[in-house]
């Protein structure tokens, strides 16, 4: 039974049980404290906790999830994967234990002809919470399970909480017996490799408080509404139903594994180490594909870093299989074809997905080439100094700075007869992880517990009136001071204000929040920010500038009209720039992020190369022609399917409900899903002036523009500058570019002649410097400061010439100078000096420690620099002392 069929059977089963079928949420979590949707229940947390009223009494879904905390186990076990799909059925006060158990048992054990999965009842075991007599009795009543196949477990295994005060409840888990060849008998309490968990039923019925750990908390009462939260792992069920050994061999994963095997020429199943690599590749390619499809792009931080790590681990694994060229075009295509039945967007958005994937692989392959060069130099230095191991900090630098995998460092070092100081490397890695964990903990601490908004959200959704009105009369529903509910806020305090309706726009879709005020009888509040902390609720962060505001007060929200107008101009201009980009570059130029504020727009889009000056001019002209044509701006509310069918662009990273708002500018020419505010017609934008275009990633570009009055002011300033230059250079405006080019060429020629004179002057110093050689132990040493020099290259040239004049005896030359305010030092040694232990690289490190910088090189020639030019004398003294000590 194919994976997609299992999912379809599940959804069909619960559709017939009157459940609303909910599409999968994005892998990018709405919860600011977590980067990804790490479990099937994450999108439903607001409903389960009661913060947001559930829009349906019961639901079922197939939720895509990403979890990378066990990434090192991927490929080694039957069930660890970074991407997985969780089938779930949910009840929000609609039904409870008996129905949940009945549904689960019916779906699992009904025949395939009846729409079930056809599991043999004798292969299924269950666990219940140790005190949950009711669940055990229901299992015996509904399923007829014998007592020995119902095992009781403690809080560690069979009790669900969020880890915070709030809802909780006992669990009942369903296990499949894989047979005696996988382990010993005795049920899941004895062996969880043989007995594989496939479904977890959470009976959410209690409120807990004083949470001290996963197992230590106080049950303080019953929830007002009992909920059901279940999760069945699709991949686990799939590998059981398909009769394969693990999730990597299922129909949605195996094609990538097979393609990697074909490319590498190594068979799957012949070598344990290779098999782990094949499984890592199959898992990571699928995870990367799904993350890219949800708008995550490779970067060096946050979600993008996780994606980059998955992709680079894939490249590394292919390299360890003997493949050094690009493989993503074939591997990602295989994953696309395997996943498109469940998630058609991976095929629909293939152009964008593949652009990012292929560019990332090309970048990392270049990184590996550069890293290999750096590593070769480091290994040569280590061998030259007599070391048997590469220093741990050097291995960590290669890993952290250049993205060079540690196992490749180990492999290459071993080929050259060296080890790697793994203890030091592991220590640095552990310190980095701890810093990351501390950062995550600190980010979590800065986020208010969203449960504080539950009481306010219970009043209903905040009604936004700002599409039509800039002033709205309302009522204060709630106040938060220092993140806690309060009855009032007084002058000088910063607070959050919740009102029933508001004209003030909450930041979303790239458009920043409105500026404005909230006023009432006896109080004035300056609005600092407007956000949506939970779905459907708007919170205004305000400073009480006068008086005192209290819960229940009548209030009026007032939008800063000028700021809103300019923000609308920028937002509508962003749509025009997007359409112009697609007109010019094609459909592959899709939005990857934006920022719109009064007078300014920033627009990121998927594209792999810089735009020419002609292309930028064309984009700017198309956008401004649309302004001139006074195109109508219209909005319509419709279903997501209707909008998609009409050709509306859905933007990555945005969350859409069943009903969406479609914004047309000039009909289908610019048609996007957008909840922001806009001008009434394109001519109201005024003017769009592109001010910059740059790279923001391996396959991402960014354009920036000024809009409306801001664009006019910038052009006015540029006109004044041109007039000033024209007068200063006594050149007509139409010849300014030629005149500046002439002056630039003259300046470069003069600089070149000056450099030649300086080089000649330095050459004249070679005999003088050689004559200053003095004995330092067994070695002849020249260690002098040159004063001001043109560049480090001048010093390097001088050092090698002085070394040649010192003859065949042991000799070291160390010359330093100041170039552009910063110190530079170059050290050279001859064969005889190296024979008695003088290594240029080691001596440069001694000097640069004094200079406050770093450097390196080979045993015969090395150079470095620093921050403190005044320390040159001390650095040379340190070199003299080190040479004398030899």
Express each pLDDT in 707-740 by its tens digit. 999 999 999 999 999 999 999 999 998 899 899 9
- Does some domain include residue 740? no
- Rounded to 5°, the CA angle 503-508-511 comes to 80
pLDDT given for residue 789 in this prediction: 82
> Do residue 53 and residue 156 come from a single domain?
yes
**Nearest in space to 607 (alpha carbons), one of 626, 590, 584, 627:** 590
Of the listed ranges 263-272, 642-651, 757-766, the one predicted with least confidence: 757-766
Q: Give the integer Cα–Cα distance in Å for 275 and 278.
A: 5
Q: Which has more confidence, 206 or 191? A: 206
The confidence score (pLDDT) of residue 535 equals 86
| 530 plus 576 within the same structural domain | no
547 burial type by CB count under 10 A (0-12 exposed, 13-18 middle, 19+ buried): middle
Q: Residue 161's pLDDT is what?
A: 86
Quick check: 11 pLDDT over 50?
yes
Mean pLDDT, residues 63-77 taken together: 83
In a domain, 523, yes or no: yes
Domain boundary among 249, 268, 298: 249
Does residue 271 sit within a domain?
Answer: yes
Q: How many residues are present in the chain?
A: 886
pLDDT digits (tens, 9 = 90+) for 563-617: 999 999 999 999 999 999 999 998 888 888 899 999 999 999 988 889 999 999 9
**800, 792, 818, 813: which is closest to 872 by C-alpha?**
818
- Of residues 366 and 65, the one with the higher pLDDT is 65
Q: Is residue 845 part of a domain?
A: yes
Q: Looking at the domain assignment, is residue 742 inside a domain? A: no
The residue behind tokens 């709205």 is 472
Q: Mean pLDDT throughout 265-280? A: 93
Alpha carbon 438 to its chain centroid, in Å, reads 18
Q: Which two tokens stand for residue 583?
A: 């007109």
Closest by Cα among 865, 866, 857 to 834: 857
Residues forming beta bridges with residue 700, ordered by sequence position: 606
Strand arrangement of the beta sheet that strand 633-639 belongs to: 633-639, 659-665, 670-673
Q: What was the pLDDT predicted at 445?
A: 39
Residues paired with residue 219 on neighbouring β-strands, in sequence order: 208
Specify the DSSP class assigned to residue 279. Answer: H
Asked if residues 335 and 285 have their Cβ atoms less than 8 Å apart, the reply is: yes
Q: What angle do CA 436, 442, 448 make, to 5 degrees?
A: 140
Give 174's strand partners.
Answer: 126, 199
> In this structure, are 853 and 802 located in the same domain?
yes
pLDDT tens figures, 484-527 = 999 999 999 999 999 999 999 999 989 999 999 999 999 999 99
DSSP 382-410: HHHTT-SEE-HHHHHHHHHHH---HHHHH
For every residue of 320-338, which 3-state class applies, written as one string? HCCCCCCCHHHHHHHHHHH
Q: What is the CATH number of the domain that holds 512?
A: 2.40.30.130
Q: Is the pLDDT of residue 300 over 90?
A: no
Is residue 251 within 8 A of residue 242, CB to CB? The reply is yes
Tell me whether residue 77 is in a domain: yes
Q: What is residue 73's DSSP assignment?
A: G
Domain membership of residue 126 as a residue range? 3-249
Residue 852, domain CATH: 3.10.310.40
User: In this predicted structure, what is the pLDDT of residue 131?
Assistant: 93
Domain shared by 554 and 574, yes or no: no
Known binding positions for Zn(2+): 571, 575, 674, 678
| pLDDT band for position 443 (cuts 50, 70, 90) | very low
Instruction: Evaluate whether residue 238 is within a structural domain.
Output: yes
Same domain as 501, residue 553: yes
Kindly indicate the confidence band of residue 449, based on its pLDDT and cuts at 50, 70 and 90.
low
Q: Are the C-beta atoms of residues 502 and 538 closer than 8 Å to each other?
A: yes
Residues 92 and 231 in one domain: yes
Instruction: Classify residue 759 by burial, with Cβ atoms within 10 Å: 0-12, 13-18, 19+.
Output: middle
- 568 and 514 in a single domain? The answer is no
The reply to whether the predicted model has a pTM over 0.75 is no
DSSP string across 797-816: HHHHHHHHHT-SSSEEEEEE
Q: Tell me whether residue 139 is in a domain.
A: yes
pLDDT above 80: residue 780? yes
Residue at which a domain ends, from 391, 425, 444: 444
Q: 510 and 545: one domain?
A: yes
Within this chain, do residues 437 and 332 fall inside the same structural domain, yes or no?
yes
pLDDT tens for 457-471 read 888 899 999 999 999
Q: Which of 131, 107, 127 is nearest to 174 (CA)?
A: 127
Query: Per-residue pLDDT for 447 more than 50?
Result: no
pLDDT tens string 228-239: 999 999 999 999
Query: Which residues sit opposite 529 in a β-bridge?
Result: 541
Please tell me the distance from the alpha carbon of residue 573 to that of residue 625, in angstroms, as a whole number. 12
CATH number of the domain to which 124 belongs: 3.30.930.10
> Which of helix, strand or coil describes residue 130?
coil
Whether residue 53 is found in the same domain as residue 186:
yes
Q: What CATH number corresponds to the domain at position 585?
A: 3.30.980.10
Give the pLDDT confidence of 633-686 residue by residue, as tens digits.
999 999 888 988 888 887 655 666 778 999 999 999 999 999 999 999 999 999
Tell me the pLDDT tens digit for each residue of 383-393: 888 888 888 88
Do 398 and 522 lie in one domain? The reply is no
> Do 68 and 119 belong to one domain?
yes
**Which residues sit in the known binding site?**
571, 575, 674, 678
Given 415, 444, 473, the domain boundary residue is 444
Across-strand partners of 499?
A: 476
The tally of domains found in the chain comes to 5
């Amino acid at each position: 039974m194919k994976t997609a069929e299992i999912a379809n059977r599940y959804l069909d089963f619960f559709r017939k049980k009157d459940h609303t079928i909910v599409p999968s949420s994005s892998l990018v979590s709405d919860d600011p404290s977590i980067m990804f949707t790490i479990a099937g229940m994450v999108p439903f947390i607001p409903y389960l906790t009661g913060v947001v009223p559930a829009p349906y009494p019961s639901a079922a879904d197939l939720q895509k999830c990403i979890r990378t905390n066990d990434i090192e186990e991927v490929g080694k076990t039957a069930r660890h994967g970074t991407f997985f799909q969780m089938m779930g059925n949910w009840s929000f006060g609609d039904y409870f234990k008996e129905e949940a158990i009945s549904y689960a048992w019916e779906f699992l054990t009904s025949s395939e002809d009846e729409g079930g999965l056809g599991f043999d009842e004798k292969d299924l075991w269950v666990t219940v919470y140790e005190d949950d007599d009711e669940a055990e009795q229901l299992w015996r009543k509904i399923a007829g399970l014998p007592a020995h196949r119902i095992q009781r477990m403690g809080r560690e295994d069979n009790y669900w909480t969020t880890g915070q005060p709030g809802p909780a409840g006992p669990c009942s888990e369903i296990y499949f017996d894989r047979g005696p060849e996988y382990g010993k008998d005795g049920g899941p309490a004895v062996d969880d490799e043989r007995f594989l968990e496939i479904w977890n039923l959470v009976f959410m019925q209690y409120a807990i408080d004083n949470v001290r750990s996963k197992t230590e908390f106080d049950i303080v009462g019953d929830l007002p509404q009992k909920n059901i939260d279940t999760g069945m792992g699709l991949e686990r069920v799939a590998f059981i139903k398909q009769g394969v050994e693990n999730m990597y061999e299922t129909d949605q994963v195996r094609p990538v594994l097979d393609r990697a095997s074909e490319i590498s020429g190594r068979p799957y199943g012949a070598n344990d180490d290779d098999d782990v690599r094949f499984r890592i590749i199959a898992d990571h390619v699928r995870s990367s594909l799904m993350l890219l499809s949800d708008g995550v792009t490779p970067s060096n931080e946050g979600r993008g870093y996780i994606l980059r790590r998955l992709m680079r681990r894939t490249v590394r694994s292919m390299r360890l299989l003997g493949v050094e060229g690009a493989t993503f075009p074939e591997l990602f295509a295989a994953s696309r074809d395997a996943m498109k039945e469940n998630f058609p967007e991976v095929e629909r958005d293939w152009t964008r997905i593949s652009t990012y994937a292929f560019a990332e692989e090309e970048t990392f392959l270049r990184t590996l080439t550069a890293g290999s060069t750096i590593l070769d130099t480091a290994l040569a230095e280590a061998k030259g100094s007599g070391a048997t191991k590469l220093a741990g900090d050097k291995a960590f630098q290669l890993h952290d700075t250049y993205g060079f995998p540690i196992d490749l460092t180990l492999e290459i070092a071993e080929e050259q007869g060296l080890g790697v100081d793994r203890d030091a490397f592991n220590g640095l890695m552990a310190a980095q992880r701890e810093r990351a964990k501390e950062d995550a903990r600190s980010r979590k601490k800065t986020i208010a517990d969203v449960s504080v908004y539950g009481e306010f959200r219970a009043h209903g959704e905040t009604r936004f009136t700002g599409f039509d009105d800039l002033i709205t009369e309302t009522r204060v529903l709630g106040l938060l001071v220092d993140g806690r509910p309060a009855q009032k806020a007084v002058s000088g305090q910063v607070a959050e204000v919740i009102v029933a309706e508001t004209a003030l726009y909450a930041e979303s879709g790239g458009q920043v929040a409105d500026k404005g005020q909230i006023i009432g009888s006896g109080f004035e509040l300056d609005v600092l920010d407007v956000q949506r902390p939970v779905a459907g609720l708007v919170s205004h962060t305000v400073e009480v500038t006068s008086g005192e505001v209290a819960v229940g007060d009548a209030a009026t929200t007032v939008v800063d009209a000028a700021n809103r107008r300019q923000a609308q101009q920028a937002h509508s201009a962003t749509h025009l720039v997007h359409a112009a980009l697609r007109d010019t570059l094609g459909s592959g130029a899709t939005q990857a992020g934006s920022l719109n504020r009064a007078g300014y727009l920033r627009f990121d889009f998927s594209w792999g190369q810089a735009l020419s000056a002609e292309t930028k001019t064309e984009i700017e002209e198309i956008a401004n022609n649309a302004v001139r044509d006074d195109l109508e701006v219209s909005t319509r509310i419709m279903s997501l399917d209707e909008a998609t069918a009409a050709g509306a662009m859905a933007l990555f990273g945005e969350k859409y409900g069943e009903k969406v708002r479609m914004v047309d500018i000039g009909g289908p020419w610019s048609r996007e899903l957008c909840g922001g505010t806009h001008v009434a017609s394109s001519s109201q934008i005024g003017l769009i002036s592109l001010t910059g275009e740059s790279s923001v990633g391996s396959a991402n570009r960014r354009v920036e523009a000024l809009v409306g009055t801001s664009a006019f002011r910038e052009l006015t300033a540029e006109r004044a500058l041109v007039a000033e230059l024209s007068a200063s250079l006594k050149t007509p405006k139409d010849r300014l570019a030629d005149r500046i080019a002439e002056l630039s060429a003259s300046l470069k020629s003069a600089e070149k002649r000056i450099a030649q004179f300086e080089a000649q002057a330095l050459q004249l110093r070679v005999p003088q410097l050689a004559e200053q050689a003095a004995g330092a132990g067994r070695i002849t040493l020249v260690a002098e400061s040159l004063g001001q020099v043109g560049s480090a290259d001048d010093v390097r040239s001088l050092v090698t010439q002085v070394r040649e004049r010192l003859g065949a005896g042991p000799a070291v030359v160390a010359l330093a100078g100041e170039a552009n305010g910063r110190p530079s030092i170059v050290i050279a040694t001859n064969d005889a000096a190296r024979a008695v232990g003088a290594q240029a690289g080691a001596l440069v490190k001694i000097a640069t420690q004094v200079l406050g910088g770093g450097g390196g090189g080979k045993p015969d020639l090395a150079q470095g620099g620093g921050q403190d030019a005044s320390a040159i004398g001390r650095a040379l003294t340190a070199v003299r002392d080190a040479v004398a000590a030899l």
